[in-house]
């Protein structure tokens, strides 16, 4: 990856960046983004599938898992999932992003078999599946090591890992918002091991809830350290907290100013992570478009259907139309580029 900063910023320097003027920060992040990617904004044509919402864990921020606030447990059959995959492949969708809750009733094989069935039928389709939180759950539930689960994922056709489940690495905040699930160290260890297998993954950060700025910077620093070791992260994805239908009592929505500052600072701090995603699902499409000028070079994808964030209030249940997506990126002065899941360029609208 191209070196984008002359000197690394320290924790203290990164925290102090929040006190800078928003537009000054934007300019700095934009210069780094342009050095890496020019005016290109990447997206992919993808589909999310969330096969079950039955969960053994209770994360306060989650509105997706079946609970008192969402008493509609479901578990899809493999036939149902394959039916969706048949349909999306017929429409030239190139990536399927499969993430579930931590369902103790299905058995390990239910999780693994679906990847193998998809891969056998559609070897060209990229399967991005199982967060580190799911890997940890499966390892604990079925008495396996992380290595065993990761090897089973590779054997059954998982191509890359999504970045979910990272939340906030600070142990105090993490204990408060999602006690009992994968710890920060375990999350990082699982991705380290995945990268050691020559595989790529993403990394998220859930922000805008009860965390403070210093916790976001700490989160970025831990990512930067692991990336120095492995180089396996493709993309950093800050996820803006959605407040509906969950058990985390946050009254005020984070401001657009703070979201954009966080995007810009992450571009500056994460000098070794090539891509910064403005995930329109949690930021809104409009703010994601603006974020292109604050360091972001990726808008995720058309998505089609999304259940986790839309359950908590995001307007993402039905995705975005491809033509509209391309139009919006162009109109905001950037070049839309369709990419595959590993950031190879497939089509440019230059
Ligand atoms: O891990 C849950 C988050 C994540 C809420 O890797 C919430 O390319 C906001 O990780 N408000 C799942 N966020 C989504 C995810 C993801 C999405 C897109 C692309 C990629 C990728 C990964 O959603 C969870 C959790 O951090 N989440 N509840 C909420 N109320």
Q: Are 314 and 282 in contact (CB under 8 A)?
A: yes
Ligand 1 center from residue 168 Cα (angstroms): 12
Confidence class for position 166, pLDDT limits 50, 70, 90? very high
Atom of ligand 1 nearest to the CA of 167: 26
Instruction: Give the Cα separation of 24 and 15 in Å (integer).
Output: 15
Mutate to test the pocket of ligand 1, among 177, 308, 317 (most ligand atoms within 8 A of CB): 308
Atom of ligand 1 lying closest to residue 201 CA: 6
**Atom in ligand 1 nearest the alpha carbon of residue 279:** 18
Which of the listed residues 178, 200, 309 should we mutate to test ligand 1's pocket, taking the one with most ligand atoms within 8 A of CB?
309
Mean pLDDT of the chain: 94
Dump the DSSP string for 12-28.
HHHHHHTTS-HHHHHHH
Helix axes 256-269, 22-37, angle to 10 degrees: 50
Per-residue pLDDT tens over the stretch 236-295: 999 999 988 888 989 888 999 999 999 999 999 999 999 999 999 999 999 999 999 999
CA of 166 to the centre of ligand 1 (A): 9
Identify the residues whose C-beta falls under 6 Å from ligand 1: 61-63, 131, 162-165, 167, 202, 204, 206, 237, 239, 241-242, 246, 279, 282, 300, 308-309, 312
Q: How far is the CA of 164 from the centre of ligand 1 (A)?
A: 5
Instruction: Kindly write down the DSSP assignment for every residue of 69-107, as one continuous string.
Output: TB----B--HHHHHHHHHHHHHTT--EEEE-----TTS-
For the chain, the domains span: 11-348
Give the confidence band of 320 by pLDDT, cuts at 50, 70, 90: confident
Instruction: Look at 109-113, 114-118, 211-215, 315-319 and tell me which has the smallest mean pLDDT.
Output: 315-319
Question: Residue with the nearest Cα to atom 15 of ligand 1?
Answer: 164
Judge whether residue 200 has pLDDT over 70: yes
Q: What is the 3-state secondary structure (H, E, C) of 227-288?
A: HHHHCCEEEEEEEECCCCCCCCCCCCCCCHHHHHHHHHHHHHHCCCCCEEECCHHHHCHHHH
- C-alpha 125 to ligand 1 mean position (Å): 22
Q: What is the mean pLDDT of residues 67-91?
A: 91
Q: Is 338 helix (H, G, I), strand (E, B) or coil?
A: strand
Q: Measuring from atom 13 of ligand 1, which residue has the nearest CA?
A: 241
Give CATH for domain 11-348.
Answer: 3.20.20.70
């Amino acid at each position: 990856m191209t070196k984008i900063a002359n000197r690394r910023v320290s924790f203290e320097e990164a925290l102090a960046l929040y006190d800078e003027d928003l537009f000054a920060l934007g300019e700095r992040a934009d210069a780094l983004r342009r050095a890496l990617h020019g005016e290109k904004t990447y997206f992919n044509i993808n589909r999310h599938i969330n096969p079950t919402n039955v969960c053994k864990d209770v994360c306060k921020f989650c509105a997706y898992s079946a609970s008192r606030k969402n008493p509609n447990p479901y578990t899809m059959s493999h036939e149902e999932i394959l039916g969706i995959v048949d349909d999306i492949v017929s429409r030239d969708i190139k990536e399927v992003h499969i993430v579930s809750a931590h369902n103790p009733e299905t058995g390990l094989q239910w999780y693994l078999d679906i990847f193998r069935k998809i891969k056998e039928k559609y070897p060209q389709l990229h399967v991005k599946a199982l967060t580190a939180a799911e890997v940890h759950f499966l390892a604990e539930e079925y008495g396996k090591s992380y290595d065993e689960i990761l090897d089973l994922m590779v054997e059954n056709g998982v191509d890359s890992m999504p970045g979910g489940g990272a939340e906030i690495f600070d142990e105090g905040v993490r204990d408060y918002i999602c006690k009992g699930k994968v710890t920060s160290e375990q999350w990082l260890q699982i991705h380290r091991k995945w990268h050691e297998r020559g595989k790529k993954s993403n990394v998220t950060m859930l922000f805008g809830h009860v965390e403070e700025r210093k916790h976001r910077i700490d989160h970025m620093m831990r990512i930067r350290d692991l990336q120095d070791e492995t180089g396996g992260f493709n993309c950093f994805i800050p996820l803006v907290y959605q407040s509906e239908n969950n058990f985390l009592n946050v009254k005020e929505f984070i401001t657009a100013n703070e979201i954009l500052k966080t995007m810009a600072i992450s571009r500056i701090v994460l000098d070794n992570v090539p891509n910064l995603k403005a995930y329109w699902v949690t930021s809104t499409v409009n703010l994601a478009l603006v974020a292109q000028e604050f360091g972001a070079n990726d808008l995720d994808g058309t998505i089609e259907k999304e259940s986790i964030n839309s359950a908590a209030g995001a307007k993402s249940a039905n995705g975005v139309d491809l033509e509209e997506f391309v139009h919006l990126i162009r109109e905001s002065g950037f070049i839309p580029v369709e990419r595959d899941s590993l950031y190879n360029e497939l089509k440019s609208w230059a």
